[in-house]
Amino acid sequence: MLSLLSWLEDWFGKLLLAAIVVLVFTAAIARTVDHPLVWSVDLAQALFVWLCFAGAVKGLARRSHIGVDYFVQKLPLGMRRVVDFVMAALAVVFLAVMSWFGIQLTLLNWERVYGDSGISYAWVTIAVPIGCGLLAVILLYQMFIAIRDGALIFAKETPATDVAPGQKADDLMQQEL
């Protein structure tokens, strides 16, 4: 089931990116021959918003978002787990608030027309609650797995538990290689 969702995520992102490229290229060619497609830029921008959230969801699922963990890595593993959990909980709260306000924004913009495209601006703003909701669900799932397995939430791999005080788990992994 997860592999099917991952496959759908990949193809959704690829489809959005391809559509954006085609729209921008077509608009550039049409502008060159003095027949501008004014709606194509609006549609490309709307698709880009969706692409950003699709990428964020994929990045969180793969744990590939950039993190500054210099000081956290110097903590003992137990304290790292606590900091990890607190940060994840704060992120879930933030995503829930963003989802709530995204829904409100979408409802407010349902009848507003997006630029010259003729589509409702709600199709752009609804990306916020959907994207933030998906991010929150993935993060909650990762929190559950981390609690169940005694792992870290944001780390790609769990550091070894037999790390000496003051030694980073990454150093231990390098020594094993």
Number of structural domains found in the chain: 1
Question: Span 112-118, mean pLDDT?
Answer: 83
pLDDT exceeds cutoff 70 at 113 = yes
Residue 115: pLDDT band with limits 50, 70, 90: confident
Question: Which has the closest alpha carbon to 24: 10, 41, 42?
Answer: 41
Q: What is the pLDDT of residue 1?
A: 60
Residue 87: pLDDT band with limits 50, 70, 90: very high
The number of CA neighbours under 13 Å toward the Cβ of 117 is: 19
pLDDT per position as a tens digit, 126-164: 999 999 999 999 999 999 999 999 889 988 765 554 444
Q: Which domain holds residue 99?
A: 2-176
The number of CA neighbours under 13 Å toward the Cβ of 133 is: 10
pLDDT per position as a tens digit, 38-86: 888 889 999 999 999 999 999 999 888 888 888 888 889 999 999 999 9
